[in-house]
Structures are given as structure tokens and as C-alpha cells.
Structure 1
Amino acid sequence: MMKLIVSILSFLTITSVKGQTITTQFGPIQGNMNGSVYQFLGIPFAKPPVGNLRWKAPENPTAWASVLNTTSFAPVCPQKSFDQGGTNGTVIGNEDCLYLNVWSPEVNTANLPVLVFIHGGGNQQGSASEVNGGTEMFFGKNMAERGNAVVVTIQYRLGPLGFLAHAGLEPENVQGTSGNYAVMDQLLALNWVKNNISQFGGDTTKVMIFGESAGGINVGNLLTTPLGNGLFQRAIIQSAVPMISDYSTARNNGTAYVDSFIVVGTDVQKIAYMRSLPSDSLVKDEEPPISGGAVGLTWQAVVDNHVFFDLPMNSFQSGNFNHVPLIIGSNSEEMSLSAPATVFPLMVSALISGYVPTPLQAQATALYPPGSNTTEARVSYINLLTDAQFTATTRRVAACVSMNQSEPVFRYFFTHKHSVAALSSFGSYHGMELFYVFNNWENATLGSGPLFSPQDDSVQNAMLQYWVNFANTGNPNGAGLATWSGYQSTTDCYLEIKATSNGTQCGLRTAESDLWDETINYTPCTSSLGIESLSKDFSFSIFPNPTSGKTQWNIPLEWNYFEVRIVNPLGNLIFKGENSSVIDLTDQSEGIYFITIESENQQFSGKIIKNM
């Protein structure tokens, strides 16, 4: 009996330390417990892309029979790693890097939402185990535990190993093109999630992909590939917009890259030589992805007529993309960490002269005044680079997607500042929101202890709930949260994410975004659904607003028929009517209500504020 008790205790101890054994489609894996979360690190989802598999589509891993220990992160992919805004990089990584990680509060029988994160880094650096501020930034334990959700982080090939397009690779592919190996890695990882995540407690009908910076670019791109259809049901793009290169440009860049190593032989022979080189030599001459506040993207996805068939905005405009609920947003001082430490007024003027056409330079100077000292100049310098590269571009995508799908779009603007004095002066910099999404700022060297403020806690709790709610239902709203209204291009309403969000903001840096649209001669999207938003010239009004009871709205005289829908802060329909221009909210709770009025080919969305 004593031996039996000892055996049982030993088994329980091993189980509690090692966690659950999961049978995946390729073989059994053993993770461990981290608090109340099952943790599996370094799960292979592809064969190592080495030797002849370099620059080929990823393949499923070779199956295994013995239990595979998955308790530590896999190596990062080969890269030259730079700090944000830094110029001195370090070559690190191993080509055998196609692994993913899973955290789950409950395995096997649960049906939890699944959040799949794609890391950033300019498509040339970064990893799923990235350390920033003294903490593993994308560590999913807190998010899974507190959000009651399954969290997955993935890796994909980077730089030339993930994106090289070259004539010597074309004969290997049926379509006669090349490139997009990193994108195919992401797609294979998502296929792994579809085929296996239910064993980890995940619901395959509630898969959300999200990513920041180049990770956000990749999320946006995945919206436009038919190969992604059905692999995810929601998407979040953080501080990015989709970007895909035309094939000829990518091929020319790839040719120049290979020619920097070898200039003799046929294209196929050159590729054979490139496959013989160690991976370190292929990335050692990389330049930083962000320099002086300007974002570069040397390595991009390409239109190859296999993964991608068109440029992103063309896909959105046509309606030919994966229609899923979308959150997209950016930060208020994106480029503050990477902009020069000292900016003189003349540098702002030079920036305007270099980026803005002459007829618009006076307008740009008024919006971004050079100032009379380095402090004022640096603020304008950061704001200009932030708006040109993030604020305006985010508005374009939010508007185009919202006009060409019936699924909702939500826009955010992250403005919270760290409580740490040394960092708060940088504002809401590029990537800062990730600490809060993953609930890991409290674990960071600078953010922990007494420096982790109640405001920090408020922001991380809200962001976690919004992200998990969205993964679960396609709507970020929920009890105890500031109401986040759906996006409409005519109103440009958004949620400002800070310690005391209230969800009432509309018109985000409108004059600045208009300037950048005009600078590039941007042609706004129209609707492919046969529904056009009301012209900005049309004076639509709801009155009285706020109201304590009845309210009404004006309708264009030419409308013979229209439909009205009003939803409460939780997204529940409380009124639906035809040809109605008045409603009584007397019996409704205090708060913000959302109204949509739609005729045969026009629609308007707005807010009604109900007071007691």
C-alpha cells in the first residue's frame, strides 16, 4: 500500500510539473504547467527549411512516435538584430526555426477563443521569444490565464530567407514565380492551428490573427490571399497596413541581392551556390528596418499569382478578400524611439521639403511647426513621421475595408504613456501597446514593482478584454468596458486607448491625414457592395443629442425607403424600423447607442448619447 501511495504521489508530482501530454497530428508532445496554464514551447509545424528546402514552400514535419518534450523556445530565425532606432546589429539565429508556442488554461474539452500572434521586426528580425524591457514581450501565459483563451505565437522565415524572389527559383514552382516563403510559413502554421488547436482547448471557429508592425503587415496581407480563406475568423492589425510588392520590383531586388554574392553562372547555378552558404552570411549585411524615424521594408511579400494575385488596396476595393471582423489602429507617437535624440527646427523644415509637394508645404508647416527650439522641433518631427506612415495609412485601410465588407471594422488610437519617467517622455511609441495586450509590462524590468501604476493596470486589463472579446465574438465590446463603436468612413470614429477611455472620439488627426492623402494623390475607395456612405457635404443630424428620451433625425428628401437599426453598448439590437425618423429611449439605460440608417444605396452611422 505504501509503495502504491508513493507511486501515485510520484505520478501526480510529474504530472503537475510536466503538464498534459497532447497528441497532435504529427505525434505526441509534452509541455509543462506555468501557474494554472498549460504551456507548450517549441512545437514544430514544418520541416527545418535547410539544405534543398531553403527557398521552398514549407513542408509538414516528419511524424514522430515518442513523446516530444516542448518546454523551451526554439531558436530564432537567422537575422541581424537591431534595437529600435539602433544602427549596430548582431547576427543571431538558426535556420531550423519553424516552431510555434501554445498556452492554454484548459486542454482537450474546452472551446476557447484562439489568439494567434505574428511578430514584427520589418520582416527581417524578431521572434516569438523576443525579450524587451527585461521580459519576454510575447509570452502568452498572462493573456491565456486572465483572458481564458488559447494563445499561439509563431515564427516564420525572415529577410532574404523568407522573401527572396529570383529567376533561379522560378523553375522550381509550377506558377513560374518565387518568393513569399515566409507567408507560406504563416499559412502552414495556421493550418496546424486548424488541425490541432482543439486538442489544446481551442475553438477552430474562433481563431483570431493579430500582429504589430511587420506582423501587422503580414496579418493585413493574409486578408488578401485565397489560401487564408477559412483559416481565421477575425484579424487585428497593430501599427501597420498591408504591403505587397509587384513581382518585377521584387525580382529586380532579388537579382541585385544574389549578384552581391555571385555574378558568374546561370540563375539556377547562382541559387545552388546561395544554398551552399551558411545562413549567417546571408543576413550579416542587413540594414536596420527603422532609421531616423523612417520605416523601411526591404523584404516584402510579392504578387506571385499563387499566394497573392493583386496589391492589397486593389483587393479591398474589389471586395475580393477574406471578409472577417477587423480591428486596426496605431499609436500616437510611433516614431519617438527611433527619431533623432536632438531635432533642430531646420530639420523639420527639411523633412517637409523632402516629403511634401511645394503647393502643400505651407499647410504642412502649419500642421507641423518647426518651432523655436529642439524640444518643439522634435515633437513636430515625430508627429509628421507618425502621421505620414501610420495615422493616415491606417485611416485609408479602415475606410476601404469597412466600405467593402458587411463584417464590422473597429479603429483604435493608443495614447497611454508609461508611468516610468525615463520612458514617458517618448510618448506612445512603436510597439509599446504590446506590453499591455500581453499583460507583460508588469513583468518588465522598468515596468515592475512600484513603477507599475494603476493606470498601467487599467490599460492592460482593458486591452486584454477587448482583444479576447473580439476573438470570441467578433465584437470587442463587453461589460465594464468603454463602448467601442464600429468604424464608418464618414465619421472616422475610434477608441482612444488610455487609462480612462470613453469611446466618444471621432475624426482622428483629420487635417493631417487629409494632407498626406493629398500628398500622394490618394484616391479614396468606393464601395463594391453597392452601398455608399453619405457625402460629407450632407448635413446629417440627430436631435436632441444627448437625449433623455425621444430623439429624431433628418433624412434626405429623395429617400423613398430606408431602414433604421439601433444597438445598445453591448451590440444588442433594440430597435429596427422602416421609414422611421424618431425613437423613444426613455426606458433604456444611460449610455451610448449606435444608429445605422440605410437606403437602397446609401448609409449613415452615428451615435446617440442617452442621459438619465
Structure 2
Amino acid sequence: MQPCKPLRIDGRLYLYIQRPPTMAKEPPTPTFVDIPHGRLRGETVTWTNRPVRRFLGIPYAQPPVGERRWRAPGPLEDRLQWEGERDATKFGPSCPQERRFRTPFFVREYSEDCLYLNVFSPPEEDVPVGGLPVLTLRAARFLATAYIFIHGGFFQGGTSIPYGQCLPVFHVFIQMLFPYSDKGCNEPYHILLFSCSDPTSLISEFGRVIVVTLNYRVGVLGFLAAAELATGATDGVAGNFGLLDQEVAIQWVHKYIAHFGGDSTRLTLWGQSAGGSSVHYLLHLLPPGVIKRAIIHSATIMNPYPLAVARRQYEKLCTALAVDSAERLRELPVGEVISAATTCREFWQPTIDGRVLRNGFGERDETPEWRAAGVESVVVGTTKDEFTLLLPFYDPPVLPNLIQDTYPASTITAATYDATYPPDSYSSSFARTTAILGDARYQAPADRLVLALASDPTRRVYQYRFEHVPPLFRFAIELWLRFWNGSWYRPWTWFNGDDGAGAHHGGELAYLFWRTEAFWGAGVAEVELARRIAGWWIGFVETGEMISVWEKVGQGANGRRVLVVGQDRRIRVEREQFREKEVMFWDGFVRT
């Protein structure tokens, strides 16, 4: 491994542990696949174990630029086929996004023309065509299972580009002191969530599956909503463009994955954070038969905005840009739009627009009659300390705003939850706030979703909870958080854990994508833990079932068993009782 060395970019100080240069053993070699739109020239990377085929930057819809800004994605069939070979060795551009949610400095290219996906596959049989290998379509019984991974980022940022070249371990000084300003740098969160989702290492180690990652519109470009945006559109779509991007990408994969050696009848949809929430939305939006299984990590549907709230955001953006129509908004340079969105300090999220999400849509839609897009198996879970990492990204006052957003049908004041979360029971405001929001926005909704899905006795539903994350990640996030919340200056609190990261949001991804850089210095036990967990998830993608000891959730709370990855790295299956009193408290605001 190359030695750590400090690197200053744009005034920011980092300490990096660089990827071992021996991971890529040989220069990439070209590989080809033919799809109806033309020939793709990808690359075969000889990695740590078996080679991995990668086809990157594949367009799945028309570019949402110009008049197509804030329109439903246009099918790729309407786009002219490319002539000759299309270079598929580079990732497509990322969607433009506000700086506070932006991906790190080594994601170089942002563009509204961002609707691209990437296909990673294990070795297949090759036949020589023109002296170069071509990926061939195998007999159906040998087609590989495939999963589609949707990245997170609050619906405000993120990308499918894996930032695998470095991992920040130390991120302090001035930038940490301004988490709410444009000068603030929140990259530890983003590198944690998104660099972990590079499937190259996973496929090289395990093979067996094909992985698809995708870009979709985020932030103001993906989730601005107003009736004016539907003017001139034949489909009447006025919002939720990012969700529609995802839906079109999934349909593309279902239609063409066989050309890459994948089985379209056994697709799994997997997402984390906003990606997990997206999977939940898509279980309502996708027709039966497109996906077979689903994996939802650390998020469910957070009650989408009513159109009135989205309307206020739209008017705020128009005022910031001094325009009075959707047509003028579409004419402005994208940089101006993003800058204005930054000054608005809004979260642009899915909206009940009456077209994509119908009026009255919300958690209560998950009745026993809900078919969940016909999926036969689902995994749902959380980490123990979901909100520790997320709190710095929200403007104060955090508690009343987020609680009301999560449970809009109820009036919830501080007095309402003081009895359940007595202030004198917590060592700090940080510890209490993260506990309340972790339960209200993650633990309780996940439990409700599990029970809703398990109400269909023909569906296999599994629940998990991570109480352990890679020590290196936890150390890095711990430093960042303690500078942010001020506990760094109270040395007597360093070892109580209440003001630290804990088993934070996104920490499990390193195990599931076999990112061994994250286990540096943690010993063999950490690597073996990752091997077991990654193997189980791949087994679920292949068969729809988990290991026998991990029982599926039965009907009713008494039948609910959860797999727990403990702080001591031991894995156990137990009746779900985690924060039972608190979860029941929040459930009361949904079931009444």
C-alpha cells in the first residue's frame, strides 16, 4: 500500500490512504457487446481475483437539456443509433448539484446530459470477432442474475461514479467549522456512501452476478415541481423527474440486460439512503414482472411533499432568478439555476403531483392489498445510529422541521416526545436529537415497511440491523462529527460514544461491496465478516432467500426476527426488540 500523504486541493486538507496499486494487475483490454442501439466497446479489467467486464456511460434516455429540462425522460428509442463503436470505458457526467451535496473534487464532469448507466459483469465465454473478444449471449440456463443499485444522497446529490481512488481519514480545520456554508465540505459522507458502491471488487472476488449502477437527476433538476412545468407536455408530468429517470433506466435494463449475459426475469432492485427510498417508491410505480427482488437499506418513503409545498419552492426559485415562467427557467444556464437553488436552502424531494404520485399517496397505501410491484423477496434494514452522520446536513431548527415533515398529518411538539425521550437521559443535545430522528425517520418506518410487506404470506421478507461498521470509517466520521458538535473540545466525552458516529448511516456498504480498503488495519476478522455478509447478499440476489438461520419475517410483530451484526462482529438472529418503546411511539402517529 502506498504511504499516506497529505494533499491540499482547493484549500481543503485531507489525509488519504491510497488504493494498493497492485489491485489492477494488467492494463484493461477491450471487450464488446452489441445492443439494438449499436456496438459498445467496454473494457476487461484484471483485478485482484477474476477479470471484470465494465461497460460505462451507456445512455438510457434522451439528454434532459433545453426544452427537455424538467420533462419526463424521453425513451432512447427516439434517439438516433450511434454509428460504429461507442466508447463505453468512461463514466458519463454526473448530474449538476449544489456544492453542499456535491461529490468530491475528482468527479470532474457535471452536465445536464447525465442519464447514463454502467454495467459490471463477471467473465463470460468469449468468441473472436475481428480479432477482439465480444461478449456473447449465453443459453438462458446460464444467464447471470443481475441487480440494479440506486445511489443515495438525500435526493440532492450523488452519482454512479465510484470514487474508488482514495478514502479520506482525516478532514478537519476550517472546512469542518462551516457545515452549513457553501465553503463547507461534506465529502466524508459522500465518499463513504458512494465510493463503497463500486462493484468491481465484489465481482472480482465473488463473480456470479451482474451489477448495474445509474445516474438520475437530483436536487432542483430532479425534483422541482409545479403545475407550470407540465405546460406543453403531453404526459402532464409536473415533478418527480428523478424517479421517472430511475423507472426508465430499470425498464432499459429489463429489456437489454440479456445482451450482457444477464437474466431479465431475475432482476433485483437495491438502494441505500435516498436510493433505498427510491426502491420503496418504485415498488409502487413499477408494473409487476419487471423486478423480482428488492433490497432497501436505511430509508423508506418519507411522506412526499404536497404540491403546495413544492409550489412555494418553485416560487422561491423563480424569485431568486428573477424570472416569471417555466419557459424562462428552461432557458437559463444550468449553473445559474444551481447557484439560485443553493441560495434557496431547500431540500428538493418527491412530490404528490397527481400524476406520478397520486393524491393521498403515503405510507397508508401499504395495505394488505398492496402488491409491491409483484416482488417475491425483500430485505429491509438499518444501522444502529442512522442519524449521527446526517445531522450536520440540516439547517436548524432540525427537530421540529424534520419531525413535522415525516409525520405531516400530526401536530408533534417537543412536549409530545419529552416523555419518551427525557432530556436528562442524554449526555448532550446531539445524542438526544440523533436518537429521536434516527427512530422517527429510520427505525420506525423500516419496521412498518417490513410488516406491510410481510402481510402477504407468499412474500419472503428479511430484516437486518448493523451495530458494527468498518473501524476506519467510524474513526474518520468520528473526527468530523466531534469537531462539528464541539465534543472534540471536551476530552472527557471522547470515550462515551454518545457524541460520536456509532454504527452510522451507510457504514455497511463497505462490506456489501467488498471494499477491502475500508478494513485496513482491522485484521482478518473484519475481512471474514465482510466475506460472509457479501456472500449472503449475493445469495439473496441469486435465489431470493437468505441463509436458513435468518428466518423470514412472519405475519404480525411476534413473528419478526432480525439478523444483527453486533458491535463485537458476532452475528445473531433475535426477536426484534430494538428501541421497541420508541418505535411504538412513532407508529402511533401513523396508525391513528
In structure 2, the partner of 1:50 is 65
Change (3 A) 1:511 1:306: closer
In structure 2, the partner of 1:234 is 293
**Aligned-pair distance for 1:307?**
5.9
Moved more, 91-100 or 393-402: 91-100
**Aligned-pair distance for 1:127?**
0.3
Q: Distance in 1 between matches of 2:402 and 2:308?
A: 30
Change (3 A) 1:73 1:487: farther
| Aligned partners of 1:113 and 1:472 also within 8 Å | yes
In structure 2, the partner of 1:429 is 504
In structure 2, the partner of 1:547 is none
Alignment of 1:199 onto 2:238? no
Change (3 A) 1:418 1:272: same
Q: Distance in 1 between matches of 2:524 and 2:342?
A: 39
Q: Distance in 2 between matches of 1:129 and 1:304?
A: 33
Change (3 A) 1:41 1:196: same
Alignment of 1:485 onto 2:552? yes
In structure 1, the partner of 2:334 is 279
Q: Distance in 2 between matches of 1:405 and 1:242?
A: 22
In structure 2, the partner of 1:25 is 36
Q: Distance in 2 between matches of 1:263 and 1:105?
A: 50
Q: Distance in 2 between matches of 1:389 and 1:193?
A: 31
Equivalent position amino acid for 2:333 in 1: P
Change (3 A) 1:31 1:308: farther
**Aligned-pair distance for 1:448?**
5.0
Alignment of 1:133 onto 2:144? no
Q: Distance in 2 between matches of 1:350 and 1:248?
A: 16
Q: Distance in 1 between matches of 2:328 and 2:420?
A: 53
**Aligned to 1:221, what secondary structure does the other structure show?**
helix
In structure 1, the partner of 2:155 is 123
| Aligned partners of 1:22 and 1:30 also within 8 Å | yes
Q: Distance in 1 between matches of 2:108 and 2:433?
A: 31
| Aligned partners of 2:539 and 2:545 also within 8 Å | yes
**Aligned-pair distance for 1:230?**
2.4
In structure 1, the partner of 2:349 is 299
Alignment of 1:102 onto 2:122? no
Equivalent position amino acid for 1:273 in 2: R
**Aligned to 2:211, what secondary structure does the other structure show?**
strand
Equivalent position amino acid for 2:60 in 1: F
In structure 1, the partner of 2:415 is 358
In structure 2, the partner of 1:113 is 145
Alignment of 1:516 onto 2:586? yes
**Aligned-pair distance for 1:31?**
0.8
**Aligned to 2:374, what secondary structure does the other structure show?**
coil
| Aligned partners of 2:101 and 2:153 also within 8 Å | no
Equivalent position amino acid for 2:475 in 1: A
Change (3 A) 1:321 1:419: closer
Change (3 A) 1:380 1:358: closer
- Partner of residue 63 from structure 1, selected from 67, 81, 84: 81
**Aligned-pair distance for 1:116?**
0.4
Q: Distance in 2 between matches of 1:206 and 1:288?
A: 44
Q: What's the C-alpha RMSD, in Å, of the aligned pairs?
A: 3.4
- Partner of residue 373 from structure 2, selected from 311, 317, 322: 322
Q: Distance in 2 between matches of 1:240 and 1:297?
A: 16
Q: Distance in 2 between matches of 1:300 and 1:204?
A: 28
Change (3 A) 1:181 1:30: same
| Aligned partners of 1:147 and 1:464 also within 8 Å | no
- Partner of residue 398 from structure 1, selected from 424, 447, 450: 450
**Aligned-pair distance for 1:201?**
1.5
Change (3 A) 1:286 1:212: farther
Moved more, 34-43 or 315-324: 315-324
Q: Distance in 2 between matches of 1:99 and 1:422?
A: 34
Query: TM-score of the superposition, structure 2-length normalised?
Result: 0.73
Structure with a larger share of its residues in helix: 2
Q: Distance in 2 between matches of 1:156 and 1:130?
A: 15
How many residues align? The count is 477
In structure 1, the partner of 2:9 is none
**Aligned-pair distance for 1:193?**
0.6
Q: Distance in 1 between matches of 2:227 and 2:550?
A: 52
In structure 1, the partner of 2:232 is 172
In structure 2, the partner of 1:75 is 93
Change (3 A) 1:302 1:460: farther
**Aligned-pair distance for 1:357?**
5.3
| Aligned partners of 1:183 and 1:301 also within 8 Å | no
Q: Trace 1:402-551 onto structure 2 (pairs within 5 A).
A: 402-404=454-456, 406-420=458-472, 422-423=475-476, 425-440=500-515, 442-443=516-517, 447=518, 449=520, 451-477=521-547, 482-491=549-558, 492-498=560-566, 499-518=569-588, 521-523=589-591
**Aligned to 1:125, what secondary structure does the other structure show?**
coil
**Aligned to 1:503, what secondary structure does the other structure show?**
strand
**Aligned-pair distance for 1:460?**
2.0
Alignment of 1:189 onto 2:249? yes
- Highest CA radius of gyration, 1 or 2? 1
Equivalent position amino acid for 1:272 in 2: E
**Aligned to 1:504, what secondary structure does the other structure show?**
strand
Q: Distance in 1 between matches of 2:555 and 2:196?
A: 33
**Aligned-pair distance for 1:228?**
4.0
% identical equivalent positions: 26
